[in-house]
């Protein structure tokens, strides 16, 4: 089954990168390096802590007359860049847990920014095939539904993987013979059927969900957004 769905439909809940410009981010991406990861034993195989290196872009107007900059400024820029990058093939960035070092600045990057290589520990979340999760329905379409689950905005549940449910076009929902319904705003327990990292303008994981399994389907948990991290 194809995971390269791009959300071109008007109802698909995608968001574009904000803050730093896309052109600046594309230049910074090659300076991003992953070095080490470990599981949080006893929590979930989807939570990791890794050591990363990122060259942080600091505007030149943040430098003082000696071309020095406060550590707090670099840290704030690091957090902003991670928020805009959002994720990598190593998972969604949840929290910087430790700052290891800040290297020598690179003044050849651009006339508006100076780059500082920063080593840091970061907690990440990566979706794993076979894990059971809950998400909230954001969009219902005739061929399936889109859910949001924690940081994952692109969770697709195909109609082919919803056994016993059929689409009701007049009401824009899926219904089963026992009157169980899946519609916008409903919380659904699903299993991750397949997952793929796609390096495109959205820079996100494409997650394919399934309801084939025991205990999967709509649940009565109003207001849940799928994953508390």
CA distance 52 to 99: 10
| Regions of the chain where pLDDT drops below 70 | 1-44, 221-229
**pLDDT one-digit tens code per residue, 159-189:** 999 999 999 999 999 999 998 999 999 999 9
**pLDDT one-digit tens code per residue, 50-84:** 888 999 999 988 888 777 899 999 999 999 999 98
pTM above 0.75, yes or no: yes
Name the nearest CA neighbour of 28 among 56, 6, 48.
56
198-209 burial code (b ≥16 CB/10 A, e <16): beeebbbbbbbb
């Amino acid at each position: 089954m194809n995971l390269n769905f791009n959300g071109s439909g008007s109802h698909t809940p995608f968001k574009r990168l904000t803050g730093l410009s896309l052109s600046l981010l594309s230049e910074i991406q090659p300076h991003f390096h992953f070095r080490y990861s470990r599981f949080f034993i006893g929590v979930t195989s989807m939570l990791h802590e890794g050591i990363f290196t990122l060259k942080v872009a600091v505007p030149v107007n943040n430098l003082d007359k000696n071309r020095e900059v406060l550590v707090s400024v670099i840290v704030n820029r690091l957090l902003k860049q991670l928020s805009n990058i959002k994720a990598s093939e190593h998972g969604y960035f949840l929290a910087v847990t430790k700052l290891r070092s800040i290297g020598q600045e690179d003044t050849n990057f651009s006339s508006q920014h100076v780059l500082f290589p920063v080593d840091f520990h970061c907690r990440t979340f990566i979706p794993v095939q076979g894990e059971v999760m809950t998400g909230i329905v954001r969009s219902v379409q005739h061929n399936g539904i889109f859910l949001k689950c924690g940081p994952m905005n692109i969770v697709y549940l195909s109609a082919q993987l919803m056994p016993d449910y059929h689409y009701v076009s007049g009401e824009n929902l899926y219904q089963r013979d026992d009157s169980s319904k899946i519609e916008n705003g409903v919380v659904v327990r699903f299993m991750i059927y397949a997952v793929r990292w796609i390096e495109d303008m959205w820079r996100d994981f494409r997650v394919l969900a399934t309801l084939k399994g025991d205990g999967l389907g709509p649940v009565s948990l109003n207001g849940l957004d799928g994953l508390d991290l």
